[in-house]
């Protein structure tokens, strides 16, 4: 607490710090709530994972650009900028981060009180609101033309992933490659279809826009009446086809099972949630998206789920270095569960 207090003191905050407590959730960064005395706001303090985020200053530059842009839009539309956008706190010398003596980066944001968030979309209505939240986020950022730094190279970029895939197959652990023969064939059987889709991105028919890149439901804050307030966890905000955000949301919101379900009978696409999310999303973005983007909306869940199959399988073939695993074949189980989800998408959408 003493050391954390020293870090917090480097930021421009209001009020006297009463308490600094860790908050659970999030597999990547460490997060704390900083409570202050009296009427001053509370804050969120975070140390950013430096083995995943190699250039935190550039990443924070993205986040500042994006939040300032949204803030202006919220003000213009008569919304409440204190609740409808994250507010990054700067240090006394105007930087959005502090580096500690070990080289770790720390950042702060104003805590938004009285919000609700959800881990899973229990109803289509919640999925619809989630779609509205992500759609609104993309719409606000439609005219942010300043380039954003590519925080993680090749993230949701299929050409990059196929390069990684070919390298992985060459260097895979032999027994695991043998064990996953069927899964490898499954990926190869769909490669052409995915490469054809990605050409549309490379040719600019599917344009790159500002995207969030981690569109799970828990990254959207709601108010107590169930209205969408704002999107949080902006670490991976970059530019890509907005179909990535759409697809990743469906991959998580509309799966009837778990991402790593061992019982494949549980895994299926919930069409009602898919449709509800799509309608919420289009209520915000119909004027922004071009015709090709709208045509490919129904394909987007396959694009991201296929990529996720590759990512889990590559990690398995390489010996589990990227994703945290809870048991030896966890990444293979995840691969199979995502394959089942993708097959259900192929059949139902």
**Which residue ranges make up the site for ligand GN1 (CB under 6 A)?**
27-28, 52, 214, 216, 236, 259, 308
* Interatomic CA distance for residues 107 and 98, integer angstroms: 7
Query: Please, which residues bridge with residue 98 across strands?
Result: 106
Shortest Cβ contact with Mg ion: which residue? Answer: 214
Of 237 and 276, the one with the shorter C-beta distance to ligand GN1 is: 237
138's contact among Mg ion, ligand GN1, none, with CB below 5 to 8 A by partner kind, is: none
Please answer whether residues 239 and 209 qualify as being in contact, where contact means their C-beta atoms are separated by less than 8 angstroms: yes
* Residue 157 CB, nearest approach to ligand GN1 (Å): 12
Sort strands 209-211 and 220-222 into parallel, antiparallel or unpaired.
unpaired
42's contact among ligand GN1, Mg ion, none, with CB below 5 to 8 A by partner kind, is: none
User: Residue 310, Cβ neighbours under 10 Å: how many?
Assistant: 23
Of 26 and 207, the one with the shorter C-beta distance to Mg ion is: 26
* Residue 28 CB, nearest approach to Mg ion (Å): 6
Sort strands 88-89 and 238-240 into parallel, antiparallel or unpaired.
unpaired
Query: Please, which residues bridge with residue 210 across strands?
Result: 239
Of 214 and 293, the one with the shorter C-beta distance to ligand GN1 is: 214
27's contact among Mg ion, ligand GN1, none, with CB below 5 to 8 A by partner kind, is: ligand GN1
* Interatomic CA distance for residues 176 and 174, integer angstroms: 5
255's contact among Mg ion, ligand GN1, none, with CB below 5 to 8 A by partner kind, is: none
* Residue 3 CB, nearest approach to Mg ion (Å): 25
Q: How many helices (H) and strands (E) does the chain have?
A: 12, 10
Counting contacts by CB under 5 A, is residue 214 touching Mg ion?
yes
Dihedral sign for Cα 115, 119, 125, 130, please: positive
Counting contacts by CB under 5 A, is residue 245 touching Mg ion?
no
* Coil, helix or strand at residue 97: coil
Shortest Cβ contact with ligand GN1: which residue? Answer: 27
* Interatomic CA distance for residues 131 and 275, integer angstroms: 10
* Residue 109 CB, nearest approach to ligand GN1 (Å): 17
315's contact among Mg ion, ligand GN1, none, with CB below 5 to 8 A by partner kind, is: none
259's contact among ligand GN1, Mg ion, none, with CB below 5 to 8 A by partner kind, is: ligand GN1
Ramachandran sector of residue 292 (left: φ over 0; alpha: ψ -120 to 50; beta: rest): alpha
Q: Which of 329, 83, 111 is nearest to 222 (CA)?
A: 83
Counting contacts by CB under 5 A, is residue 248 touching Mg ion?
no
Of 236 and 239, the one with the shorter C-beta distance to ligand GN1 is: 236
């Amino acid at each position: 607490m003493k050391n954390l207090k020293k870090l917090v003191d480097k930021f421009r905050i209001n009020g006297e710090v009463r308490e600094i407590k860790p908050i659970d959730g999030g597999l990547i960064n460490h997060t704390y709530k900083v409570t202050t005395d009296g009427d001053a706001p509370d804050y969120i303090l975070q140390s950013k994972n430096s083995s995943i985020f190699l250039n935190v200053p550039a990443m924070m530059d993205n986040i500042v650009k994006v939040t300032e842009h949204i803030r202006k839009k919220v003000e213009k539309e008569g919304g409440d900028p204190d609740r409808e956008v994250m507010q990054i706190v700067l240090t006394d010398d105007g930087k959005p981060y502090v580096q500690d003596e070990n080289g770790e980066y720390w950042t702060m944001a104003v805590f938004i009180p009285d919000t609700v968030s959800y881990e899973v979309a229990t109803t289509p209505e919640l999925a619809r609101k989630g779609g509205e939240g992500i759609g609104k986020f993309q719409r606000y950022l439609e005219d942010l033309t300043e380039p954003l730094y590519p925080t993680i190279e090749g993230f949701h970029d299929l050409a990059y992933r196929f390069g990684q895939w070919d390298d992985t197959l060459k260097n895979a652990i032999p027994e695991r490659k043998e064990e996953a023969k069927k899964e490898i064939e499954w990926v190869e059987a769909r490669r052409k279809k995915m490469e054809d889709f990605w050409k549309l991105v490379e040719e600019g028919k599917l344009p790159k826009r500002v995207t969030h890149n981690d569109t799970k439901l828990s990254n959207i804050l709601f108010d107590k009446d169930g209205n969408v307030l704002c999107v949080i966890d902006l670490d991976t905000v970059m530019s890509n086809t907005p179909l990535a955000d759409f697809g990743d949301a469906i991959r998580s919101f509309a799966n009837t099972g778990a991402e790593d379900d061992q019982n494949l009978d549980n895994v299926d696409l919930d069409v009602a949630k898919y449709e509800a999310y799509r309608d919420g999303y289009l209520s915000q973005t119909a004027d922004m998206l071009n015709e090709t983007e709208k045509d490919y909306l129904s394909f987007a869940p396959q694009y991201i789920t296929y990529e996720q199959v590759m990512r889990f399988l590559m990690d398995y073939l390489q010996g589990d270095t990227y994703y945290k695993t809870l048991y030896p074949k966890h990444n293979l189980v995840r691969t199979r569960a995502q394959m089942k989800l993708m097959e259900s998408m192929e059949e139902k959408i």
